[in-house]
Amino acid sequence: MSTPIGQPTVPPDRDRGGPAQPLLSIDGLVKHFPVKKGLGGRPAVVRAVDGVDFTILKGETLGIVGESGCGKSTTARLIMGLMPHDSGELLFDGELIGGRALPWRDFRAQTQMVFQDSYASLNPRMTVEGSIAFGPRVHGVPKRQAIERARSLLARVGLEPSRFAARYPHELSGGQRQRVNIARALALQPRLVVLDEAVSALDKSVEAQVLNLLMDLKQEFALTYLFISHDLNVVRFLCDRVAVMYLGQVVEIGPADTVLASPAHPYTAALLSSMPSMDPDARTQVAPLAGDPPNPIDPPPGCRFHPRCTLAEEVCKGRVPPLAPVDPVHRVACLARQPGSGHSAAPTLSVAA
């Protein structure tokens, strides 16, 4: 279940591109980190993000899933501009981020991020309302108004301002701190909120409350979410579409229900089958993933998943499978799903009738 992609209720002057324009469009994003090798070693790079493309439509929630080290957090940080990207094009509502039409400061006022570690995200020396009011004040809102806005946001996320506004982060629980982080993200009235494992560190019951809060806020403020997580259950609950990442590349992207119920990529299937089931009869007999965990410094040639893939064949070592559509809204990077790829399981090219 998820909210339908609807008409966002933003004032017309903020929505520059119209409803059909994706809010965020990423093309060919690449980021490599150099690894220090001593004298006489080859210079090596960690290929953290190696050619990522996707779009986020206005009003939707896009999830990105993958195991640790697949590059999802790095992608988030590249989008937010916390580090420069090596190559690739980033467009926000049709405009180049950091270009003349959309300088960084303006972009920053429209996109915000909630981090995983709720304690490290808050300045231990600032009060909760001070932290929330910091963003608006940077953009010229007078102090009194900024504090007012901070207080009303605190109330909106379920923290009573009279009790919580003057507190310090160490006096709050994890769930309370994450609510503060959400309030802070909303203080600048953004259109896109990136949630980087925002609920991963919370206890389950608290996680449920925060997720429901996020859904309500999205409705109320007409937000678009990029939700990064390794928890497939949460992604299924919250997201409209989901992208699966492996070793710095997107291997599958499509509607959440489809991808998580009938995955097209063997890696997605393996991820799903390694989730423990509540049903005692549904036991996992065979380990879903074989082989060694991948090394981002020296990825395998061709399809990066082929050493661990049950469907792997010779052709998989030679070619990098492109992210090709299985149907209009669902794309997969797997030679076994692409007609004419040379893989034995690939569907035959259908002749237009």
Residues that bind another protein (CB under 8 A): 1, 38-40, 80-82, 104-105, 108-109, 111-113, 115, 117, 119-127, 131, 134-135, 138-139, 156-160, 163, 166-168, 170-173, 175-176, 181, 184, 188, 205, 208-209, 211-213, 215-216, 233-234, 236-237, 260-261, 275, 277-279, 282
Burial 79-103 (b: 16+ CB within 10 A, else e): bbeeeebbebebbbbebebeeeebe
Tokens of 37: 């090798």
CB of 249 to another protein, least distance (A): 25
Closer CB to another protein, 137 or 319, in the complex: 137
The answer to whether 187 and 149 are in contact (CB under 8 A) is yes
**How many Cα atoms sit within 13 Å of 135 on the Cβ side?**
24
Closer CB to another protein, 115 or 225, in the complex: 115
Answer positive or negative: Cα dihedral of 301, 304, 308, 311: negative
Q: H helices of the chain, where? A: 72-80, 104-110, 128-138, 143-156, 161-164, 174-186, 204-221, 232-238, 256-261, 266-273, 314-318
CB of 73 to another protein, least distance (A): 11
CB of 233 to another protein, least distance (A): 5
CB of 297 to another protein, least distance (A): 15
Tokens of 94: 């049709």
Give the whole-angstrom CA distance, residue 353 versus residue 234: 42
CB of 294 to another protein, least distance (A): 22
Closer CB to another protein, 221 or 237, in the complex: 237
Give the whole-angstrom CA distance, residue 291 versus residue 287: 10
Tokens of 56: 């986020």
Query: What does DSSP say about strands 24-35 and 87-92: parallel, antiparallel, or unpaired?
Result: antiparallel
Which of 294, 289, 292 minimizes the C-alpha distance to 69? 294
CB of 160 to another protein, least distance (A): 8
Closer CB to another protein, 96 or 290, in the complex: 96
Closer CB to another protein, 121 or 341, in the complex: 121
Residues contacting 80, CB < 8 A, separation 6+: 111, 113, 194
The answer to whether 79 and 22 are in contact (CB under 8 A) is no
Closer CB to another protein, 225 or 323, in the complex: 225
Amino acid residing at 317 = K
CB of 105 to another protein, least distance (A): 5
CB of 118 to another protein, least distance (A): 9
CB of 299 to another protein, least distance (A): 23
Q: Is 233 helix (H, G, I), strand (E, B) or coil?
A: helix
Give the whole-angstrom CA distance, residue 306 versus residue 252: 15
Amino acid residing at 29 = L
Closer CB to another protein, 79 or 315, in the complex: 79
Closer CB to another protein, 118 or 338, in the complex: 118
Query: What does DSSP say about strands 24-35 and 44-56: parallel, antiparallel, or unpaired?
Result: antiparallel
Give the whole-angstrom CA distance, residue 126 versus residue 136: 15
Closer CB to another protein, 61 or 131, in the complex: 131
